[in-house]
Structure 1
Amino acid sequence: MRRRLAGLSLLGLLTLTAAACGSGGGSGAQQPADGPATITMWTRAATQAQSERLVEAYNKTHRNQVKLTVIPTDNYQPRIAAAAGAKQLPDLFAADVIFVPNYTSQGLFMDITDRVAALPFKDELAPSHMKLGTLDGRQYTVPHTLDLSVWFWNKDLYSKAGLDPEKGPATLKEFAEQATTVQEKLGKDGKVHGTFFGGNCGGCYVFTFWPSVWAAGGQVMNPEGTTSLNDQPAMTEVFKIYRSLYENKVTGPTAKEEQGPTWTGFFPKGEIGVMPMPSTTLGSMPADMKIGVAPIAGPDGGESTFVGGDSIGISATSRNPDAAWDFLSWSVGDEAQVEVMAKNKDVLARTDLSSNKYSAQDPRVVLVNSLVAKGQTPFALRFGQTFNDPQGPWLRFAREAVFGDVSKLPQLNAEITKSLQQ
């Protein structure tokens, strides 16, 4: 039996299945196949810039037109639930890739397996996004936007601290050593710190700590997303290294209280030596700032990344599936990926286009794009409640591991598993 979509309102829960099977749709009556169609599309504010660029480029070159609605990120899931209950989903809607399994498990997306199979580059689409958009061997979504976790280091601070500015960390242990050197050499005035992380933010831990576990060959959950493995040696060692950095005052003083909204704001100010960052922030860094980029590594090496971002699919109730697919297939095609996404230094949805005429101008962008095939996006139907919810068990577990009483971890890990299985 399919699991019920977690995190929806009561109304959404009561009416969701009926909505997915109904014949209604947010775009109204089906438009003539021989005429231009206007299709509706929703996306969350977190991916507004990329979505607007894609839609604008498509509308300029196609008879069909896409009408885009951007919804505040915090309101997005409730809005999808309400629209499903009212049988008013748009033709296309994007979703945080982590939550896609919830939507596919309720049949909110149309099956596009055969359409995807006909794409000449189907095997080059971002594997993590494609995996989470698959249910029972059928494909329901394609990648829309991607955001990866990587290590940034400040080359000017490295030079001032006596470190090689062209050599970033290749292991998590080196990361800690370099951060400590920056702190010891430059941190006396309290303005510069070795590193920083979101210590009171469940999603921040997931995005920045888990890649070190994967790089070490470990996992954080079983493949079904129902059992937590965060008490295993790989995760334990990662926590131990970060705990030591905090105890030795190598992190910024507000790391323990950082809830997420400002965790990426200190590095662009030139205050942090080295830290994990979203790859999408590279293009918005100060133009005169010399930044190195490295894959996130495990304690002793390896490399990985958390492949985040959004996937997009055709709603199950769309009256214009052919027109909707025309936009989707174009959005992952060569023109859109190179002339829209790569031109703006966005991470590409295609592994075969990682090195192109735009990314070739910046080796850091080539590196980021190359990590798409090496990273992971964990699967769990109850991911949000377990790992993102500030009241969820994961944040309590992580905070005890880094700041508190490690004797509590076995019980807290059991609570993570219990939450995943509810």
Structure 2
Amino acid sequence: MRRSLAGISLLGVLALTMAACGNSGNGDGGGSQAGAGPVTITMWTRAATQTQSERLVQQYNKTHKNQVKLTVIPTDNYQPRIAAAAGAKQLPDVFAADVIFVPNYTSQGLFLDITDRVAALPFKDKLAPSHIRLGTLDNRMYTLPHTLDLSVWFWNKDLYEKAGLDPEQGPKSLREFAQQATAVQEKLGGDGKVHGTFFGGNCGGCYVFTFWPSVWAAGGQVMNAEGTQSLNDQPAMTEVFKIWRELYEKKVTGPTAKEEQGPTWTGFFPKGEIGVMPMPSTTLGLMPKEMKIGVAPISGPDGGESTFVGGDSIGISSTTKNADAAWEFLSWTVGDEAQVEVMAKNKDVLARTDLAENTYSAEDPRVVLINSLVAKGQTPYALRFGQTFNDPQGPWLRYAREAVFGDASKLPQLNAEITKSLQQ
């Protein structure tokens, strides 16, 4: 998830290219359609969502006269490539983007207005609401959900049983989470190989992905709706930090949590070394087949449930000359065939809430649970998200680290710095 949340916001860079790109704003523009025969459109995606994108493109190409030529770009290079292509008016026909950064792209006119096209979809009200919200600007729609990755709690049933816990009962609140993690640590952590829990303690995106859902589940917020004021000093966030700080101080989190910068934070649970921890939902299908894993929604200190709805959105570039062919592909990706026979078949989270229960997910109640959280989760909106929350030098990571490991007296000033960064 560090990679899916990492990167820099390109608001300033893209501002320089806005005039070069423009935006039709009419809902179905984008230049003349190329020819009367089959059309090959170009698509870009970042490596973090390569697997899902390749599956969708391969199936589409097998079943349609029009074709899609996919280019996968390293995640860390993706935003600079988009900025450069925008400046040169060489954007592909369609491109995906981390949903968190979509507001930057829409505000700079890089996507075609597809409001009227989306409105004609029979399932328009069933599309992942968080992705739709971040792809909407001034009541006009510019993107569709492409891939989804949710934050959930995984627990290791074998370790629970060895620790004297009920292996079929995962945590229903953050306090229960802490109790169960502590029990695993106390019963099994003596040899230093097993730990109660783990988290990315030096990774801004990891905190966002795994801690914020507990705030939302408690009825709190981390920012105002405009994404210009930090609310991380409010009681819900304060209590979440307190619980995690206690886990760290009791050595329940493992010795490397404080230094974990993100690249390896999800690698310990699959090895059977962690009792219970927040994980990306997309890793469920990658777990060892013999591993007995429970899945629970992330809860607040005293209950509730929520999730960080991450992943990618996808849109048609504002400079395309193949708008109709591009829309044919995009609309197909959220249709029944693609969502069930491509996404659900491979245990991916679906972009539509009405398909949460389907032929494939019914085989695994955990998948049904994950899909059901799409409508309950949130994706925070802020034009300055990258600089504020993902940048290793940004104010959020300093705030989180002081809250969990350091000096709480510094938090008011750091919270003010978060707000200042959001407003720049």
TM-score (norm 2): 0.95
1:186-205 superposed matches below 5 A:
186-205=188-207
What residue number does 2:48 align with? 46
Q: What displacement does 1:33 show?
A: 4.7
Aligned residues: 412
Contact 2:135 2:143 (C-alpha < 8 Å) held by counterparts: yes
Instruction: Report runs of 4+ in structure 1 exceeding 4 Å deviation.
Output: 9-12, 28-31
What residue number does 1:316 align with? 318
What residue number does 1:348 align with? 350
Tell me which of 365, 368, 372 is aligned to 2:367.
365
Contact 1:216 1:300 (C-alpha < 8 Å) held by counterparts: yes
Alpha-carbon separation, structure 1, partners of 2:327 and 2:33: 14
Percent identity of equivalent pairs: 85
Tell me which of 82, 85, 89 is aligned to 1:83.
85
What residue number does 1:271 align with? 273
What residue number does 2:254 align with? 252
Deviation readout 1:124-176 (Å, 9 max, x if unpaired)? 00000000000000000000000000000000000000000000000000000
What residue number does 2:38 align with? 36
Alpha-carbon separation, structure 2, partners of 1:52 and 1:223: 35
Task: Name the SS for the 1:158 alignment partner.
Answer: helix
For the pair 1:291 / 2:293, whether they are aligned, the reply is yes
Q: Which runs of 5+ in 2 are unaligned?
A: 1-7, 25-29
Quote the RMSD (CA, aligned, Å): 1.4
Alpha-carbon separation, structure 2, partners of 1:8 and 1:389: 12
Alignment-mate amino acid for residue 408 of structure 2: V
Alignment-mate amino acid for residue 279 of structure 2: M
What residue number does 1:151 align with? 153
What residue number does 1:230 align with? 232
1:11-160 superposed matches below 5 A:
12-21=14-23, 32-160=34-162
Alpha-carbon separation, structure 2, partners of 1:183 and 1:262: 21
Task: Name the SS for the 1:144 alignment partner.
Answer: strand
What residue number does 1:3 align with? none
Alpha-carbon separation, structure 2, partners of 1:221 and 1:144: 25
Q: What displacement does 1:397 show?
A: 0.0
Deviation readout 1:274-309 (Å, 9 max, x if unpaired)? 000000000000000000000000000000000000
Alpha-carbon separation, structure 2, partners of 1:243 and 1:154: 22
Q: What displacement does 1:225 show?
A: 0.1
Contact 1:342 1:358 (C-alpha < 8 Å) held by counterparts: yes
Contact 1:306 1:375 (C-alpha < 8 Å) held by counterparts: yes
Alignment-mate amino acid for residue 8 of structure 1: L
Q: What displacement does 1:252 show?
A: 1.0
Alpha-carbon separation, structure 2, partners of 1:98 and 1:317: 22
Q: What displacement does 1:9 show?
A: 9.1
Alignment-mate amino acid for residue 292 of structure 2: K
Contact 1:9 1:78 (C-alpha < 8 Å) held by counterparts: no
Q: What displacement does 1:15 show?
A: 2.6
Alpha-carbon separation, structure 2, partners of 1:172 and 1:313: 37
What residue number does 1:184 align with? 186
Q: Which runs of 5+ in 1 are unaligned?
A: 1-5, 23-27
Alpha-carbon separation, structure 2, partners of 1:72 and 1:301: 38
Deviation readout 1:96-145 (Å, 9 max, x if unpaired)? 00000000001100000000000000000000000000000000000000
> Structure 1 residues 11, 416: CA separation in 2 closer, same or farther (over 3 Å shift)?
closer
Contact 2:224 2:230 (C-alpha < 8 Å) held by counterparts: yes
> Structure 1 residues 381, 356: CA separation in 2 closer, same or farther (over 3 Å shift)?
same
Deviation readout 1:10-51 (Å, 9 max, x if unpaired)? 7644233322359xxxxx995545211000000000000000
Deviation readout 1:187-210 (Å, 9 max, x if unpaired)? 000000000000000000000000
> Structure 1 residues 245, 338: CA separation in 2 closer, same or farther (over 3 Å shift)?
same
Alpha-carbon separation, structure 2, partners of 1:320 and 1:123: 26
Task: Name the SS for the 2:274 alignment partner.
Answer: coil
